[in-house]
Amino acid sequence: MYDYIIGKVTNVNSTYIVLECSGIGYIIYTPNPYSFQEGSEYKVYLYQLVREDELSLYGFKTIEEKELFLKLISVKGLGPKMTLPILATGSVGGVIDAIERENLLYLRKFPKIGDKLAKQIILDLKGKMGVVSTLELKDNSYEELIEVLKGLGYKEKEFKTIIPKVNNELSIEDQVKEALKLLLK
């Protein structure tokens, strides 16, 4: 089993990249291949799928993406190839929030996700996104906000669901104001 691979991207295709490491080119299916620059070196977090008739690698730029992918493929009726478009068009925080808030409309916007599968995702994953949520909170863009909220006496379990809703492009003062408004709702 592989955890990650570091190498140079030699080819970008519509569904996968080729990552060269030690003279070997690995085909890695990824949510958004065009986010990789040909000729650049990357650390890609991997999931290896082994089936009777298939051996595939799925790659992610962040651990959070990989963790969400692993949670999603555990849902009955949702395989790796159907999960990639969810990660490509939705943010990790947005998908987690949609699951926790039972937002069927958000989940149905993804290709091949109908009402029945969206309900199954919520049924299987609601309340079980803790590991991914905690990883998402460690995103550097929210690090300062998290420290401020902890300094104000809030516990992580109180603010972990509202952090992804705060615009991380705001100044830290405005982020704190927005977070406090969300906490007091």
- Assign 128 a pLDDT band (cuts: 50, 70, 90): confident
Amino acid occupying residue 9: V
Residues 6+ away with beta carbon under 8 Å from 52: none
- Taking the C-alpha atoms of residue 133 and residue 68, their distance in angstroms, rounded to an integer, is 9
Q: How many CA atoms lie within 13 A of 90 on its CB side?
A: 23
pTM above 0.75, yes or no: no
CB neighbours (10 Å) of residue 103?
A: 16
What residues pair up with 12 in beta bridges, in sequence order? 17
What tens digit of pLDDT does each residue of 42-100 get?
Answer: 999 999 999 999 899 999 998 889 999 999 999 999 999 999 999 988 778 888 888 98
Fold of 63-128: DNA polymerase; domain 1 (1.10.150)
SS3 62: coil
pLDDT of 9-56, one tens digit each? 999 999 999 999 999 999 999 999 999 999 999 999 999 999 999 899
Q: How confident is the model at residue 138 (pLDDT cuts 50, 70, 90)?
A: very low
Q: What is the CATH number of domain 4-60?
A: 2.40.50.140
- Domain range annotation of the chain: 4-60, 63-128, 139-183
